[in-house]
């Protein structure tokens, strides 16, 4: 969790109220548990892997692997933009100075120590991040409790205590978007594969899920406090407008902690992007130093986009939408029942899911192509209608339907060709699967046991 959480969660609280506060926190925390279920499955199928894209290439082939690798890099690009944009706004708001130099310094520093320490250094910064965020929550809670006065007369008129249609829609919208987006964050997968055992993975993720929920709920609650303390239209700046009422030493400490959080997140994204590009795009044919140099070049447009200060929440949601169109089709490959799904269908399903959002927008907005295009970038997330909800419903469902449709067409064409040529149709033959690591280990132990019980021959 980086500095971006200080914008998106309070912003949603000022719009949807207490219902949105807990919905967003839960929708961010609970999807982490997916790694407890998916991690062991993929590790058994591909013990030598360390990120999801390796398994995708192993299961679906080169074309699907390249497609998912591109999406993975694109999602991480958006997360980098969100993090640097948030850091720039934090420095500009709290310190009153231009945040661009701080952003550049952070990029240089994280690039240096990740180049020297690799991904292992991210585990160290994660520990620092954990300490910093606990200190941030503790100090801010005490400071807000003693320095900010809530006007009780503003609570009822604000309407933030009442449930709303948007609040109920967000239960699905945020959950499906975040759980799919998490699948493209290679940093999560690298930690999943790095866990010593499946039990350790389950314990670690369970603790993280609880802590993430508590922390994000507290951060989001600052949006409610801002409204109830009389700050007019706080929006995404709710947390920082509250900080303006606190002593200077608290503000200074918050700046130090926020920079630490941002570094911890950004170095993980850098390391994950280097690993994904090296393994999947260049197949380890380029020296790692060259790949790191390319990632540094990619960070230049990240900074350019970040200084435009776009909506942090909108950036997250765009990545969520792209992921929700692709992920359902990809994970069909985890089941042996869908052995007939090929990489071509997965690519068509992901791209078709995004296109279906535009088609849905054309229908929803009665042929308005401009409004339909804006729906893809979620420009109307808080519209009092079903547009955003429909977007996140259409993307995964249409993606799956297109995947199966393309698969049926491929098999139908192949069946017709086999019939015309007098050949046997083998399109639905179950392929031979390589033995899993557990099966290989069990076979080795069984052969060793049999050998130990065989009678020895005297010479």
Q: Reduce the DSSP state of residue 459 to 3 states and report it.
A: coil
Contacts of 222 (CB under 8 A, 6+ apart): 10, 13, 140, 144, 238, 239, 242
Task: Please give the C-alpha separations between residue 152 and each of 20, 48, 228, in angstroms, as whole numbers.
Answer: 20, 58, 7
pLDDT, tens digit, 9 for 90 and up, residues 102-141? 888 988 888 888 887 777 777 777 777 778 778 778 887 8
Cα–Cα distance between 417 and 426 in angstroms, integer?
11
Express the helix, strand and coil content of the chain in percent, nearest 5 each: 80, 0, 20
pLDDT band of residue 179 (cuts 50, 70, 90) is very high
Give yes or no for residue 49 having a pLDDT over 90: no
Give the pLDDT of residue 126. 76
Query: In the structure encoding, which two tokens stand for residue 238, read together?
Result: 């709710």
pLDDT, tens digit, 9 for 90 and up, residues 182-199? 998 887 888 888 888 999
Q: Reduce the DSSP state of residue 42 to 3 states and report it.
A: helix
pLDDT band of residue 230 (cuts 50, 70, 90) is confident
Cα–Cα distance between 5 and 21 in angstroms, integer?
12
299 near 107, Cβ under 8 Å?
Answer: yes
Give yes or no for residue 378 having a pLDDT over 80: no
Give the pLDDT of residue 437. 52
Give the pLDDT of residue 434. 55
Compute the radius of gyration of the chain from its Cα atoms.
25
Model-level pTM?
0.81
Domains of the chain by start residue, with CATH: 5-313 (1.20.1730.10)
Cα–Cα distance between 51 and 342 in angstroms, integer?
20
Query: In the block, which residue shows the tokens 């409610």?
Result: 224
Cα–Cα distance between 173 and 166 in angstroms, integer?
10
């Amino acid at each position: 969790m980086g500095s971006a959480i200080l914008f998106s969660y309070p912003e949603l609280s000022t719009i949807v109220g207490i219902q949105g506060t807990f919905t967003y926190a839960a929708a961010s925390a609970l999807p982490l548990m997916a790694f407890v279920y998916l991690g062991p499955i993929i590790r058994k199928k591909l013990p030598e892997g360390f990120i999801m894209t390796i398994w995708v290439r192993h299961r679906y082939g080169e074309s699907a692997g390249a497609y998912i690798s591109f999406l993975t890099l694109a999602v991480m690009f958006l997360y980098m933009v969100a993090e640097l944009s948030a850091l720039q706004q934090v420095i500009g708001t709290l310190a009153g100075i231009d945040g661009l130099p701080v952003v550049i310094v952070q990029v240089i520093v994280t690039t240096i120590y990740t180049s020297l320490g690799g991904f292992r250094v991210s585990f160290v910064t994660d520990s620092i991040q954990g300490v910093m965020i606990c200190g941030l929550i503790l100090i801010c809670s005490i400071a807000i409790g003693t320095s900010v006065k809530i006007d009780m007369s503003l609570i009822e008129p604000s309407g933030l205590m009442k449930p709303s249609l948007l609040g109920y829609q967000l239960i699905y919208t945020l959950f499906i978007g975040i759980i799919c987006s998490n699948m493209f964050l290679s940093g999560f997968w690298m930690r999943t594969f790095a866990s010593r055992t499946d039990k350790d993975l389950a314990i670690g993720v369970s603790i993280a899920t609880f802590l993430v929920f508590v922390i994000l709920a507290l951060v989001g609650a600052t949006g409610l406090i801002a409204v109830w303390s009389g700050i007019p239209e706080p929006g995404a700046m709710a947390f920082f407008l509250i900080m303006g009422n606190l002593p200077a030493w608290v503000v200074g400490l918050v700046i130090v902690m926020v920079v630490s959080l941002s570094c911890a997140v950004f170095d993980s994204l850098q390391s994950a992007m280097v690993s994904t590009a090296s393994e999947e795009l260049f197949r380890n044919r380029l020296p790692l130093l060259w790949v790191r140099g390319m990632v540094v070049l990619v960070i230049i447009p990240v900074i350019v986009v970040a200084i435009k200060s776009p909506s942090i929440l909108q950036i997250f949601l765009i990545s969520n939408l792209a992921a929700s169109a692709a992920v359902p089709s990809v994970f069909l490959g985890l089941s042996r029942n869908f052995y007939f799904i090929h990489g071509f269908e997965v690519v068509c399903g992901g791209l078709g899911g995004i296109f279906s959002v535009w088609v849905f927008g054309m229908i929803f907005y009665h042929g308005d192509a401009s409004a339909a295009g804006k729906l893809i970038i979620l420009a109307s997330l808080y519209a009092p209608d079903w547009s955003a909800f429909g977007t996140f419903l259409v993307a995964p469902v249409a993606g799956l339907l297109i995947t199966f449709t393309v698969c049926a067409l491929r098999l139908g064409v192949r069946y017709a060709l086999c019939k015309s040529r007098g050949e046997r149709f083998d399109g639905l033959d179950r392929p031979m699967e390589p033995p899993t690591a557990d099966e290989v280990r069990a076979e080795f132990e069984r052969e060793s046991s049999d050998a130990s019980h065989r009678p020895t021959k005297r010479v």
